[in-house]
Amino acid sequence: MKSPKNMVTPEAIDELFDRNLQDLEAEGTRALSPHIRDLARLQVKMYWRRLEQLARQVTDTEVRLQLPAQKSPAGRTFGIEGIVDIVREADGTTTMYDIKTHDSAYVRENRQQYAEQLNVYAHIWQELRKERLDATAVICTTVPKDVEEAARRNDEAAMVRALEKWDPVIPIDFDAGGVKATVAKFGAVVDRIEGHDFTPPTHADLKARVAGARTRFAVYVCRNCDARYSCRSYQQYAKGSAATQESLLKTYLADLGDDDLRDDIGIAALEIEPPLGTG
Amino acid sequence: MSLRAEVAQSPKPIVERLWKRFDFKPNESQREAILHSEGPLFLPAGPGSGKTRVLLWRVTNLVLTHEVDLKEIYLSTFTEKAALQLREGLRTFLGAASEETGRPFDLARMYIGTVHSLCQRMLIERDFQPNRTRGRAPALLDDLDQYLFVNKSATWARLLQAAGLEPSTAHGILNAYLGGRGQSKHAAASSTIAFFNRLSEECIEPAAIDVSSDPELERVVKMYGEYRAQLAASGTRLTDFSLLQQEALAVLERGAHTGEVFRHVIIDEYQDTNTAQERIFFRLASKHRNICVVGDDDQALYRFRGATVENFVRFPERCRKHLGVAPREIPLDTNYRSRPDVVEFYGRFLNQCDWKRPKGGSYRVESKKIRPHRKERGAAVVSSAAAPPEAVAAEIAALVKKLIRTKRVADPNQIAFLYPSLKSEQVHRMMDALEAKGLRVYAPRAGSFLATPEATAMLGLFALVFGRPARGPYRGEYWNYYNWLDAAEAEGERLSKLDPMLESFIDARRAEVQRSEADYRRLLDLVARKKWDLDAGYVPKAQQRRLAECPGLSDEARRRIGSARFNLAVDRRIAEGNPLKLKYVLKRATSADWSLLDLFYQFTLFEHFAAMFDAAQRSVDPDEGPVCNLSLLSGYISRFMEQRAPTIAGDLLMESRLQNMFFGSYLYALHLRGESEYEDAEDPFPKGRIPFLTIHQSKGLEFPVVVLGNPRKDPKTQRLEQIFDPLLAGSGREPLARMAEFDMMRMFYVALSRAKNLLVIANFRSRGNRINPQFNALLGNVPEISAFDTASVPTAAIESEAAPKVYSYTGDFLAYQRCPRQYLIFRKFDFVPSRSQTMVFGTLVHRTLDDLHQLLIGARHSTAQTQ
């Protein structure tokens, strides 16, 4: 009989990955560009290389937790849902993991935000499900630049060094005390959504730096958002950095990233052949 | 006591305790239906009878009480939206249950969706393949793709050739036979497609048709054979919606165990299923025989798509035939939606038709007798005075204005105008009357979608950037289309004159397009002079410098060719033994940094469009109409981009190819087809606007106030039904002579039964204007608007859904907190993002890690068992 050890080969991971890719396409999702696809594949493979031991211990995967029948300040009934992975060790010690495709530096800087989330999940797990819980943590699957670089150059020695430096597991302290406040905050957001309140962050918010991201909100969030063009806050932000109408126009015309980024996107898209042909 | 403790103590099914929690009080028949767990079940469900709730609770009960695994349940719905609603409802109920019982559940593995999406899944998944390896699904053409495929010159020529038709006379001949008109290719292609689809849905193989006495039939049958050959011959295997079902059925019939995969097969809207689907369902249920069908024959609407209402009406006998057992029949006939007056009115309407079969029995399911649950007595159906259309429109518009002013509705979008067709003159008359009262309407599908002000303005700007094809010497719809294109271009010019920055922006983008084309031409010349092969591998050593130094080349193209990043990619490919082709180097050198969708979003920077977003975003009295149209347009542009122009580069710009493809072919096809009147409506409807819908679009919806804007539809037997009648002899279908009348009755029945609090009926009477006689008889007993007190209309409450909403911590809460506006535009208005890669990326990584964990867990279990 095969031991689990030799079951998970890089080929096996490739197969799982390709199958999901195919499923996503069958579900009508837009095709990923080869560049992005490679990056996703790398994340999965590096997760396995770096966290094999942890992955082997996972006892419950993609557990859907739900906090039903909450009341918002305005009296709306709603539920909260989240997904976690659970590791139960032989001695019963139980850890809850939230896998994020985020960057670990960002998560470390914004620990509070992740703590709030995991506390709600922990509350559901302990109080509603009556399960044991000893620790919570976030796993960040975004690989550091040097891992990406080592993979690109196919440099095994550099890869070993880069992986050693990478710490994708970030423990989060859990404390049931904050849950009530988080749920109340959640309820307030539900009311704002249902009450049609969609005011964007202000111009000042856009200029502020995002903790853990070393860039402004306008770059970290807005630059990846197609709705920025019609957004008054972003328009004001863009005007602020341009002295004349002409330079403002230039800003917008060149709003699609620097040469490197444009090259990356362009190269990735080159060989995509349109399915209905160009005739 | 906690639910868990109760579970241990009480013999009552757990769902009954959950009902209390969700404040659900089922009536006796709902209860019976929910708790039924073995054997076939037949649920004729009248309008507003809570069938979605019944389905949700029934699945919940199967899982919680009868230990049915979710992946053993097949649940198919008519629309993706309905599937989404059911999935969310199950998530709520099962989520609540598992928090109490500790039993987790996995909705991701459940088969829940439209028949088509489930067919696609069955073509892939191992469970259904003969050798249990993963299958490959063919690429699916939807209605528009299918039209574009058939209409393409190359395909069409081969189809005509197969039929032995001369191109010069073919269209007239086909139209005469299939019921189209004149010499139009569009009409011929459309009705030929309808014929193809019907053959596929009825599972009729060309060889099985006796064409010996009918040379005209023989021709179109030959075309069908050639069509299938063409689909199979294309590079990626293609299929259409109708053939997809046949393919799935073939897979099911090949595999020995495919009838045991599902313990329960549940079908919603069963009255609108076709023959291929019926076979699929009975095959899936063949082992366990737990098939549950829900529907309402009185609301059958889709005969023209091959739906056979007999599948539903005769379900008991079909069930005996296929499964050897009669179903349990439980009518769901308590109406929770409408005031008693409305329910009684549509009941009387249905009785205006004789449904008796000549040899006994009925063409309807007669077990259901719709009874109102609501108690508010009083008039809830009113009609306009019998008058000419202008007067009727004015009277109704005044009533609507009053209903809004006196807050009988919370938003104008709670008043729906329903029509058999939105192409009628009555529609425009009514819209004008409402607009004259200062009211705004939402009707993207009345007329052509392209003609909406938002699409006209945006596409006009596109025409200024890319140029547009010149008008050719044709009349008819072609002429109308070019009138629109002229108007769009003029609108683009007008807007750019108003806004100097917009003008400069267009100039800059146009210059890029021209530069890109010029660069490409120069590079192509060089390649020709050097006698290089575009399809051969790129050899940087020999070619890079030559390309970069090509005379007249722009700096940007030169930069691209020399870019370190690009050359790194090139070298990597050479090292891998798979060098990049030369043609892609030319493409890279000349491609724009932006896509068509990027350009769309960039134009929203300018005041004309930015103001529309402001109007949709404001919290008081928002107007969401224009932004909803822009969102639809983002979908059309993205679709074109993905299928035909992922990258805008010199090769696409040469010889006006892009403008011909986009304006000359794609948008023209959209114009010709009109937007389908049967397309799903965008529910919920934009705030601040009164929605105009076809009755087909209103299926499954409800509104506090419904206006039946044109109670006129002349029953006319469809040509396709005449052609298929002999082919389907003996199938027990309704008699050809009655079909059109039945269908007309059912359609109006759907319209009338959408109303919750008030139903308003237009009553036209003048030269050339009248309403159907079935209404004439009834309107005598209905008060007129002038004698009606609007204060008697109950104020419309906030919609209560079948289950309370569950919000995702990350997808809703965190996304909203990051940026409420971004959340509005992409989560609520569904704009297609230009850079959607991040979302797909996350799903892909998460799913694969989940699979990896599953694999490891599974392996551990099997190791533990062997030890």
Q: What is the pLDDT of residue B819?
A: 94
The Cα B847–Cα A17 span in angstroms is 8
Per-residue pLDDT band at A2 (split at 50, 70, 90): very low
Is residue B709 pLDDT above 90, yes or no?
Answer: yes
Contact status, residue B771 vs residue B719, Cβ threshold 8 Å: no
Give residue B680's pLDDT. Answer: 59
Name the nearest CA neighbour of A96 among A87, A83, A105, A107. A87
Q: Does B851 sit within 8 Å of A40, measured CB to CB?
A: no
For residue B491, give Cα distances in angstroms to B487, B606, B671: 6, 14, 18
User: Radius of gyration over alpha carbons of chain B, in Å?
Assistant: 30
Residue among B563, B614, B857 whose CB faces A59 most closely = B857
CA distances from A17 to A154, B236, B498 (A): 20, 21, 51
* Mean pLDDT computed over B528-540: 93
Question: Do the Cβ atoms of A19 and B851 come within 8 Å?
Answer: yes
Structure tokens at A179: 């849950």
**Whole-number Å distance between alpha carbons of B853 and A60:** 8
Q: How confident is the model at residue A8 (pLDDT cuts 50, 70, 90)?
A: confident
DSSP H or E run through B433: helix B425-436
Q: Is the pLDDT assigned to residue B132 strictly greater than 70?
A: no
Chain B residues whose beta carbon lies within 8 Å of the beta carbon of residue A279: 152, 154
With CB atoms and an 8 Å threshold, state whether B838 touches A224. Answer: yes
Report the residue of A5, A48, A81, A199 to disrupt the B interface, i.e. the one with the largest count of B CBs within 10 Å.
A81
Q: Does A97 touch chain B (CB under 8 A)?
A: no
Q: Which of A29, A142, A270 to mutate to test the interface with B (most CBs of B within 10 A)?
A: A270
Taking 60 as the threshold, does the pLDDT of residue B678 lie above it? no
Q: Is the pLDDT of residue B552 over 50?
A: yes
- pLDDT confidence tier of residue B290, bands split at 50, 70 and 90: very high
Lowest-confidence pick of B121-130, B243-252, B253-262: B121-130
Mean pLDDT over B35-63 rounds to: 95
Question: Looking at CA atoms only, how far is residue B106 from chain A in angstroms?
Answer: 8
Q: What is the pLDDT of residue A251?
A: 81
| Phi then psi dihedrals of residue B688, to 5 deg | 85, 0
pLDDT above 90 covers a percentage of chain B that reads: 64
User: How far is residue B139's CA from residue B238's CA, in Å, rounded to a whole number?
Assistant: 5
**To the nearest whole angstrom, how far is the Cα of B568 from the nearest Cα of chain A?**
10
Judged by CB atoms closer than 8 Å, whether chains meet at A1 and B508 is answered as no
B92 contact residues in A (CB cutoff 8 A): 66, 68, 79
Residues 28-67 of A with CB under 8 A from B: 29-33, 36, 39-40, 43-44, 47-48, 55-56, 58-67
The residue of A78, A124, A230, A262 whose CB has the most chain B CBs within 10 angstroms, and thus the best one to mutate to test that interface, is A230
CB contact under 8 A, A36 and B837: yes
The per-residue pLDDT for A272 is 64
Phi, psi of B725 (to 5 degrees): -55, -50
**pLDDT value at position A278?**
45
At A3, the pLDDT band (50, 70, 90 cuts) reads: very low
Q: Which residues of B touch A24 (CB under 8 A)?
A: 840, 843-844, 847
Task: Give me the percent of chain B exceeding a pLDDT of 70.
Answer: 94
* Contacts (Cβ under 8 Å, ≥6 apart) of A90: none
Amino acid in the structure at residue A234: Y
Measured distance CA(B401)–CA(B74) in Å, rounded: 46
- Residues in chain B within 8 Å Cβ distance of A277: 644
- pLDDT value for B180: 79
Closest approach of B256 to chain A, Cα-based (Å): 25
Of A43, A129, A197, Cβ closest to residue B845: A43
- Give pTM, 2 decimals: 0.86
Q: What is the mean pLDDT of residues B430-439?
A: 96
List alpha helices for B446-499, DSSP H.
Answer: 453-466, 477-498
pLDDT value at residue A125: 84
The C-alpha of A122 sits at a distance from chain B's nearest C-alpha, in angstroms, of 12
Q: Which residues of A touch B834 (CB under 8 A)?
A: 226
Partners of residue A248 in chain B, C-beta under 8 Å: 501
Please report which confidence band the pLDDT of residue A276 belongs to, taking 50, 70 and 90 as the band edges. low
CB-nearest to A249 from B505, B604, B643 is B505
Tens-place pLDDT, residues B486-517: 999 999 999 999 999 999 999 999 999 999 99
Q: Which residue of A17, A62, A82 is in closest CB contact with B809?
A: A82
* pLDDT greater than 90 at residue B445: no
Residue from the list B588, B848, B853 with its beta carbon closest to the beta carbon of A58:
B853
Average pLDDT, chain B: 90
Contact A16 B852 (CB under 8 A): yes
**Which one of A32, A120, A271 has the shortest CB-CB distance to B809?**
A120
The chain A residue lying nearest B503, using CA atoms, is A249
A190 and B807 in contact by Cβ < 8 A?
A: yes
Q: Using pLDDT thresholds of 50, 70 and 90, give the confidence band for residue B281.
A: very high
Distance from CA of B565 to the nearest CA of A (A): 7
Confidence of residue B802 (pLDDT cuts 50, 70, 90): low
A62–B613: do the CB atoms touch at under 8 Å? Answer: no
Note the pLDDT of residue B400: 97
Which token pair is A47? 């997760």
Cis status of the peptide bond prior to B684, with omega within 30 of 0: yes
The pLDDT of A99-103, averaged and rounded, is 86
Give residue B534's pLDDT: 93
Measure the N-to-C terminal CA separation of chain A; round to a whole number of Å.
55
Q: Determine, for residues B605 and A198 on separate chains, whether the beta-carbon distance falls below 8 Å.
A: no
CB contact under 8 A, A231 and B821: yes
Q: What residues of chain B lie within 8 A of the CB of A131, using their CB?
A: 102
- B676 pLDDT band (50/70/90 cuts)? low
Quick one: pLDDT band at residue B81, thresholds 50, 70, 90?
confident
Q: Looking at residues B788-816, what average pLDDT do you find?
A: 82
Query: Is B807's CB within 8 Å of A33's CB?
Result: no
B849:A47 CB<8 A:
yes
Q: Which residue of A has its CA nearest to B854?
A: A61
Would you state the pLDDT for residue A1? 39
Question: Across the interface, do B613 and A129 touch by the CB < 8 Å criterion?
Answer: no
Half-sphere CA count of B393, side-chain side, radius 13 A: 17
Q: Cβ contacts (< 8 Å) between A141 and chain B: which residues?
A: 845, 849
- Of the ranges A9-18, A52-61, A143-152, B402-411, the best mean pLDDT one: B402-411
Tell me the two tokens of residue B700: 């499954």
Decide: B264 and B292 in contact? Cβ < 8 Å: yes
For B236, list phi and psi in degrees, rounded to 5. -90, 135
- Round the average pLDDT of chain A to a whole number and report it: 83
Which residues on A lie below 8 Å from B846 (Cβ)? 62, 99, 101
Residues of A in contact with B145 (CB under 8 A): 276
Contact assignment for A17 to B844 by CB distance below 8 Å: yes
Contact B117, B309 (CB under 8 A): no
C-alpha torsion A30→A35→A41→A44, nearest 10: -100
Distance from CA of B842 to the nearest CA of A (A): 6
Q: Please tell me the predicted confidence (pLDDT) of residue B333.
A: 94
Structure tokens at B639: 């679709």
Q: How close, in Å, is residue B301 to chain A by CA atoms?
A: 27
**Cα nearest neighbour of A257 on chain B:** B593
pLDDT above 50 for A122: yes
Are A81 and B124 inside 8 Å of each other by CB?
no
* Cβ–Cβ gap A232/B610 under 8 Å: yes
Region B725-744: mean pLDDT is: 91
Q: How many residues does chain B have?
A: 867
Edge-first strand listing for the sheet containing B328-329: B111-114, B73-77, B264-267, B291-295, B41-44, B328-329
ipTM for the assembly: 0.90
Q: Which helix (H) or strand (E) holds B2?
A: none
pLDDT of residue A213: 76
Chains A, B: CB pairs < 8 Å:
317
Mean pLDDT score, A70-90: 87
Look at residue B839 and tell me whether its pLDDT is greater than 80: no
Portion 102-121 of A in contact with B at CB < 8 A: 113, 117, 120-121
Q: Do B840 and A32 touch (CB under 8 A)?
A: yes
Q: Judged by CB atoms within 8 Å, which residues 182-221 of A form the interface with B?
A: 186, 189-190, 192-193, 195-201, 221
Say whether A278 and B121 touch across the interface (CB within 8 A): no
What pLDDT, on the 0 to 100 scale, is given for residue A126?
Answer: 84
**Residue A4 confidence (pLDDT):** 45
Quick check: A143 and A105 in contact, CB under 8 A? no
